[in-house]
């Protein structure tokens, strides 16, 4: 037997996915090239209808990115200077960036050490602390469904209602997940998702969508995504932005939507193999009760930073790529440290030192999943 290095396993395999949908995708792209309505064309309308049906929301509004979806939602709620926007410290930067862009202040909340989702008890404490300090008005909560799993929305809604906060669900990582048997998309007053290419449902460029059951908010978001336009293009009602989705991206997403349910099932199957083979050796993801995950990220916890470094290097030598989401909690980022009030966020800080993401995508073969498990067990053994 020759001792050749094994073929590297891709962290994400968009080429293999493309091969599965090639014919349908080409047909849809050709139709856009035929009609040349490149911005908010018929594919965008069709996608909005399909996505609204998928998650049982009254309205879906296609927008230019997940970040812009968050921005439009916060603009629609009138968030600005002097407002506190509560959000988890352990998330992607975009969640915290938007409040600052609008002149508001992000207030970082710690996360649950088992599920990594925003911690409702700490949220309550943070709201009380902001009220006591009297400098900022508590105005909004951005709950993030991290890594594919849902946040504890029943608890978050109750707290938000008690304190009069606008609720926004940042669903960028978890479109396709369910909570209590229902797809995410209707847990908050507004929901924002992303179609960045590496998300569970990804476009071939930037894209995003918003969901709401409110007719008023839906109309407002449609206006805000097109420069605050009124009933005609030449009537400007409010300050908006260029936040539109383009037809080619919608065509790509419609093609991908045809295989999305089977992709979710494939990711779940892989997660179950990881759980059963690795569960005794490392801390595998703890499931949120009565939910399903979209498995954007499958993250394990190692003993400490040194153990993580070791596992990463052993896996690399075996052709297994890994990634760290997130190496720094947001309140420790130079861009945000200045707006942080100094509260301790020990769970987010601890997770950042020892969390590690394994590949999880629908085109991983059983052999590859087996190789990844073997490599992890070898590294921690
Ligand atoms: C990716 C992501 C976003 C931003 O989405 P873009 O489409 O890249 O702008 C926002 N929030 C979270 C949690 C994300 O993972």
CA of 1 to the centre of ligand 1 (A): 46
Q: Given the CA of residue 95, which atom of ligand 1 is nearest to it?
A: 11
Residue nearest to atom 1 of ligand 1 (CA): 172
Q: How far away, in angstroms, is 195 Cα from ligand 1 center? A: 8
Q: Is 174 in the pocket of ligand 1 (CB under 6 A)?
A: no
* CB distance 194 to ligand 1 below 6 Å: yes
Q: Whole-angstrom Cα distance, residue 356 to residue 285?
A: 11
**Amino acid 1: pLDDT:** 46
Query: pLDDT value at position 3?
Result: 52
- Give the residue, by CA position, lying nearest to ligand 1 atom 6: 66
Please state, in angstroms and rounded to a whole number, the distance separating the CA atoms of residues 318 and 374: 10
Evaluate: CB of 94 within 6 angstroms of ligand 1. yes
- Classify domain 16-109+116-257 by CATH architecture: 3-Layer(aba) Sandwich (3.40)
Q: Bin 53: left if φ > 0, else alpha if -120 < ψ < 50, else beta.
A: alpha
Tokens read off for 50: 């399909």
CATH of span 260-380: 3.90.1150.10
Domain range summary for the chain, segments of one domain joined by +: 16-109+116-257, 260-380
What does residue 73 show for φ and ψ, rounded to 5 degrees? -65, -45
Q: Is 144 in the pocket of ligand 1 (CB under 6 A)?
A: yes
CA 207 – ligand 1 centroid, Å: 10
Q: Is the CB of 95 under 6 A from ligand 1?
A: yes
Of residues 355, 357, 346, the one with CA closest to residue 112: 346
- Helix-helix angle 66-76:215-225, to 10 degrees: 120
CB neighbours of 261 closer than 8 A, spacing ≥ 6?
none
DSSP 197-260: TTSSS--SS--EEEEES-HHHHHHHHHHHBTTB-SSTT-B-S---B-BPBHHHHHHHHHHHTTH
Pocket probe for ligand 1: among 67, 210, 329, the residue whose CB has the most ligand atoms within 8 Å is 67
The Cα–Cα gap between 257 and 275 comes to: 27
CB 62 within 8 A of CB 253: no
Ligand 1 atom with the shortest distance to the CA of 68: 9
How many CB atoms lie under 10 A from the CB of residue 6? 13
CA proximity to 117, closest of 158, 156, 68: 156
| Residue 367 burial by Cβ neighbours in a 10 Å radius (0-12, 13-18, 19+) | exposed
Q: Cα separation of 348 and 117, whole Å?
A: 10
A 10 A CB-CB count for 120 gives 20
Q: How many residues in the chain?
A: 381
| Ligand 1 pocket mutation pick from 65, 91, 108, 194 by most atoms within 8 angstroms of CB | 194
For the CA of 173, the nearest atom of ligand 1: 15
- What is the C-alpha radius of gyration for the chain, rounded to an integer number of angstroms? 21
Q: What is the pLDDT along the chain (381 residues), one digit of tens a residue?
A: 445 667 899 999 999 999 999 999 999 999 999 999 999 999 999 999 999 999 999 999 999 999 999 999 999 999 999 999 999 999 999 999 999 999 999 999 999 999 999 999 999 999 999 999 999 999 999 999 999 999 999 999 999 999 999 999 999 999 999 999 999 999 999 999 999 999 999 999 999 999 999 999 999 999 999 999 998 888 999 999 999 999 999 999 999 999 999 999 999 999 999 999 999 999 999 999 999 999 999 999 999 999 999 999 999 999 999 999 999 999 999 999 999 999 999 999 999 999 999 999 999 999 999 999 999 999 998
Q: How far is the CA of 133 from the centre of ligand 1 (A)?
A: 31
Ligand 1 mean position to 68 CA, how many Å? 9
Query: Which protein residue's CA is at the shortest distance from atom 14 of ligand 1?
Result: 172
**H helical segments located in the chain:** 14-35, 42-55, 66-76, 94-101, 120-133, 153-163, 215-225, 247-257, 260-278, 305-317, 334-337, 346-354, 366-380
Q: Of ligand 1's atoms, which has the minimum distance to the CA of residue 194? A: 7
Q: Tell me the C-alpha distance between 75 and 95, whole Å.
A: 14
Residues 295, 270 contacting (CB under 8 angstroms): yes
Mutate to test the pocket of ligand 1, among 98, 150, 172 (most ligand atoms within 8 A of CB): 172
Within 10 angstroms of residue 71's Cβ, the number of other Cβ atoms is: 25
């Amino acid at each position: 037997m020759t001792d050749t290095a094994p073929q590297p396993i891709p962290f994400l395999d968009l080429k293999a996915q493309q091969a599965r949908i090639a014919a349908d995708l080409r047909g849809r792209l050709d139709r856009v090239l035929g009609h040349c309505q490149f911005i908010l064309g018929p594919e965008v309308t069709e996608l909005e209808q399909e996505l609204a049906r998928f998650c049982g929301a009254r309205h879906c509004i296609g927008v230019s990115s997940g970040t812009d979806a968050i921005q439009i939602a916060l603009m629609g709620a009138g968030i600005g200077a002097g407002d506190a926007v509560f959000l988890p410290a352990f998330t992607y930067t975009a969640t915290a960036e938007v409040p600052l862009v609008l002149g508001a202040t992000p207030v970082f909340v710690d996360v649950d050490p088992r599920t990594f989702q925003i911690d409702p008890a700490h949220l309550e404490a943070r709201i009380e602390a902001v009220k006591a300090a009297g400098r900022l008005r508590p105005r909004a909560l951005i709950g993030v469904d991290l890594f594919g799993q849902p946040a504890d929305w029943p608890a978050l809604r109750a707290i938000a209602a008690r304190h009069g906060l606008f609720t926004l669900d940042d669903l960028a990582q978890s479109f396709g997940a369910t909570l209590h048997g229902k797809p995410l998309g209707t847990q908050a007053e507004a929901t924002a998702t992303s179609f960045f290419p590496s998300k569970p449902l990804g476009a071939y460029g930037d894209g995003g969508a918003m969901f709401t059951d409110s007719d008023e908010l839906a109309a407002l978001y449609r206006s805000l995504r097109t420069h605050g336009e009124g009933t005609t293009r030449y009537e400007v009602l409010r300050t908006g932005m260029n936040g539109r989705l383009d037809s080619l991206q919608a065509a790509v997403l419609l093609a991908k939507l045809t295989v999305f349910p089977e992709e979710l099932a494939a990711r779940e199957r892989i997660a179950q193999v990881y759980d059963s083979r690795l569960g005794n050796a490392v801390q595998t993801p703890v499931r949120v009760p009565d939910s399903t995950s979209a498995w954007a990220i499958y993250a394990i916890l190692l003993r400490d930073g040194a153990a993580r470094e070791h596992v990463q290097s052993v896996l690399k030598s075996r052709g297994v790529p890994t990634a760290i989401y997130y190496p720094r909690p947001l309140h420790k980022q130079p861009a945000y440290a200045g707006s942080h009030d100094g509260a301790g966020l020990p769970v987010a800080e601890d997770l950042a030192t020892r969390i590690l993401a394994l590949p999880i995508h629908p085109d991983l073969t059983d052999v590859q999943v087996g190789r990844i498990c073997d490599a992890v067990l070898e590294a921690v053994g």
